[in-house]
């Protein structure tokens, strides 16, 4: 019973991570290291204010036992600008989302950020190069009888249910290895952020990366409930990416 509960808890938190909102501009970094100055815990996540040799930054990770003074290392980091946490009722000018891979208790000194992290921080002595951001330029629609835009799939989910579609778009969020699948959020410039028609979830065993432009071939499913409050009216599953 304990094992089953542990699996359920992992899946619930993983789905929560996959369902986090994402801005139009996002970038990846390899590794971020720093000393924890402040800890804010919410239901599924822990927000950290980190001190690094390049200045203070805010980061968010899956909720864990982290204390002020710990030295932490994050990998697979995405940078989000103007991120609003409804739970904290707070807006962050910039925040890092990543996986916590190392925690050293009671570390006394801050560490440098990974070499690929170039975001401008408040205490940096000189301005660093800007992050490479994901373009929000429209993506050309795929060709063929089954070709659709993201908006067409989202708005016509009931008509396309259980049918194979082909859609071309840009990966704006990527969460690998959750319940044996990779979870991809795809946008192509169609639809509206206001009503959620600009973004579709794709599950696949194919690998990709944030910012990649891919052509997806998969089956449209509707009203899929993964429990823990994470349900999707329309998504694409059994997908292949190229």
**What's the mean pLDDT in 190-196?**
91
**What's the mean pLDDT in 9-21?**
45
- Burial class, 160, CB count within 10 angstroms (exposed 0-12 / middle 13-18 / buried 19+): buried
Q: Which of 143, 133, 160, 178 shows the shortest CA–CA distance to 218?
A: 160
Q: Give helix then strand counts, H and E, for the chain.
A: 3, 10
The better pLDDT of the pair 75, 202 is held by: 202
In the numeric block, the tokens 């990366």 are attached to: 209
Strands of the chain (E only): list them.
26-41, 45-52, 55-62, 71-85, 90-104, 164-178, 181-187, 200-204, 213-225, 231-241
pLDDT tens string 25-48: 344 446 788 899 999 988 778 899
Q: What is the pTM of this model?
A: 0.50
The better pLDDT of the pair 1, 44 is held by: 44
Asked whether 204 and 185 are in contact (CB, 8 A), the reply is no
pLDDT tens string 118-169: 333 332 222 333 333 455 678 999 999 899 999 999 999 999 999 999 999 9
- Burial class, 69, CB count within 10 angstroms (exposed 0-12 / middle 13-18 / buried 19+): middle
> For the chain, which domains are there?
25-104 (2.40.50.140), 150-241 (2.40.50.140)
Token pair, residue 194, equals: 């206001």
Which pLDDT value is given to residue 30?
61
- Burial class, 169, CB count within 10 angstroms (exposed 0-12 / middle 13-18 / buried 19+): buried
Which pLDDT value is given to residue 229?
56
Token pair, residue 54, equals: 């390049």
Query: Does 60 have pLDDT greater than 80?
Result: yes
Asked whether 30 and 115 are in contact (CB, 8 A), the reply is yes
Q: How many residues belong to the chain?
A: 242
Which pLDDT value is given to residue 81?
82
Asked whether 62 and 142 are in contact (CB, 8 A), the reply is no
Asked whether 224 and 204 are in contact (CB, 8 A), the reply is no
Query: Does 239 have pLDDT greater than 90?
Result: yes
Asked whether 112 and 51 are in contact (CB, 8 A), the reply is no
Query: Does 77 have pLDDT greater than 50?
Result: yes
């Amino acid at each position: 019973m304990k094992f089953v509960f542990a699996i359920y808890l992992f899946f619930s938190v993983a789905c929560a991570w996959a369902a986090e909102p994402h801005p139009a501009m996002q970038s990846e970094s390899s590794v971020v290291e720093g000393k924890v100055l402040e800890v804010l815990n919410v239901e599924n996540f822990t927000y950290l204010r980190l001190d690094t040799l390049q200045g203070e930054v805010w980061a968010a990770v899956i909720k864990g036992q982290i204390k002020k003074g710990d030295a932490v290392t994050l990998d697979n980091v995405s940078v989000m600008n103007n991120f609003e946490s409804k739970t904290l009722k707070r807006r962050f000018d910039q925040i890092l989302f990543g996986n916590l891979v190392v925690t050293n208790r009671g570390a006394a000194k801050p560490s440098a950020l990974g070499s690929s992290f170039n975001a401008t921080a408040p205490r940096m002595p000189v301005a660093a190069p800007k992050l490479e951001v994901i373009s929000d330029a429209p993506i050309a629609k795929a060709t063929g009888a089954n070709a659709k835009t993201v908006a067409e799939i989202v708005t016509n989910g009931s008509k396309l249910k259980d049918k194979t579609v082909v859609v071309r778009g840009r990966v704006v969020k990527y969460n690998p290895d959750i319940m044996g699948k990779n979870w991809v959020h795809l946008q192509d410039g169609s639809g509206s952020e206001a009503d959620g028609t600009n973004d579709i979830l794709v599950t696949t065993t194919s690998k990709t990366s944030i910012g990649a432009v891919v052509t997806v071939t998969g089956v449209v499913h509707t009203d899929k409930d993964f429990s823990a409050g994470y349900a999707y009216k329309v998504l694409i599953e059994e997908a292949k990416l190229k």
